Amino acid sequence: MNVTIFPSTARGVVRAPASKSVAHRMMIGAALAAGESVLRGVEDSEDMLATLDCLTALGAAYEKDGDRLTVRGVGGDLSRSTGIFPCRESGSTLRFFVPLALLKEGTSLFTGAPRLMARGADLYGEVFAGKGIAMEKSPAGVAFTGRLTADDYAVRGDISSQYITGLLLALPLTEHDSALRVLPPVESRPYIDITLGVLRQFGVAAEETEENVFHILHGPYRALTADVEGDWSNAAFFYALNALGGDVTVTGLSPESLQGDRVCVELLERLQKGFCEVDIAGTPDLGPVLFAAAAALHGGRFTGTRRLAIKESDRAAAMARELGKFGVKTQIEENAVTVFPGGLTKPTEPLCGHNDHRIVMALAVLLTQTGGTIEGAEAVKKSFPGFWEALRGLGIAVRVS
State CA 251 to chain mean position distance.
Answer: 20
Catalytic hit among 47, 261, 285, 356: 285
Q: Give 3-state DSSP helix, strand, coil % of the chain, rounded to 5.
A: 40, 25, 35
How many residues are given for the chain? 401
Amino acid making up residue 100:
L
Whole-angstrom distance, CA of residue 85 vs CA of residue 166: 14
SS3 state of residue 230:
strand
Q: Is the previous residue joined to 185 through a cis bond, with omega within 30 degrees of 0?
A: yes
Nearest one of 88, 92, 143 to 115, comparing CA atoms: 88
What's phi and psi for 127, nearest 5 deg?
Answer: -60, -40
Q: In what order do the strands lie in the sheet with 206-210?
A: 152-156, 178-183, 213-216, 206-210
Rg (CA), the chain: 21
314 is annotated as an active-site residue:
no
| Cα three-residue angle 295-301-302, rounded to 5 degrees | 100
Question: What are the catalytic residues?
Answer: 285
